[in-house]
Chain A
Amino acid sequence: SQKIEQNSEALNIQEGKTATLTCNYTNYSPAYLQWYRQDPGRGPVFLLLIRENEKEKRKERLKVTFDTTLKQSLFHITASQPADSATYLCALDRGTGGFKTIFGAGTRLFVKA
């Protein structure tokens, strides 16, 4: 069956360092991949989308890579800040329209001052 895996253990890093979160998938051929931020008790907020033919995407301090051979995406936050502390979800889509999306359970990030 289709599966998305994100590290269930929380990631703790020091302020100013780069946080790297991993999203692995199996039995799936996504057309594109998305990353979301979710704060406790709130809905997810869309951050970035990367297509299968793109290797890397950047937005301010955020960088996403997508390796369809390894079936993996890496999400990087450079110069991390305590305000970056949240849960980060990855989501895979087979096509456009939004109804073929599979979400991961998320990885909790704590950035210490």
Chain B
Amino acid sequence: DGGITQSPKYLFRKEGQNVTLSCEQNLNHDAMYWYRQDPGQGLRLIYYSQIVNDFQKGDIAEGYSVSREKKESFPLTVTSAQKNPTAFYLCATHRGGLSGYTFGSGTRLTVV
């Protein structure tokens, strides 16, 4: 089955730690995205990548970093500079043209 795998499902971060969220896809889509979801708010774009070895900042990139070394993979690192990282993180792909996103099942990050 084609799809997006996000791991881990739950992640706990201590103050001052960097953590990395994994996103792998086998849909052969060029474009990949990271969104953050907080209660009562719409999804907010963190970073996106339209092609391997290239990525762009979204609306709330501060405190986050990404890489896109392979078409299938788009990991997100939440750095210690992100002051309020507790949220639900969603990875998505887009096949281009007039279509919707395909989302992964998400990673819930909690600061302890």
Are A and B part of the same complex? Answer: yes
CB contact between B96 and one of A51, A96, A103, A106 (< 8 Å): that residue: A96
Contact of A49 among B44, B58, B100 (CB under 8 A): B100
4 A-B pairs besides A43-B104, A99-B58 with CB distance below 8 A are A43-B105, A98-B94, A99-B48, A99-B56
B7 located at the interface, meaning its Cβ lies under 8 Å from any Cβ of chain A in the complex? no
Q: Is the CB of B99 within 8 A of A49?
A: yes
How many residues from B make CB contacts under 8 Å with A? 30
B40 on the A face (CB < 8 A): yes
A46, A47, A97, A103: the one contacting B102 at CB < 8 Å is A46
| Tally of A interface residues using CB under 8 Å | 26
Per-residue CB contact flags for chain B residues 100-112 toward chain A (1 = under 8 Å, else 0) read: 1111111010000
- Tell me how far the C-beta of B56 lies from the nearest C-beta in chain A, rounded to whole angstroms: 7
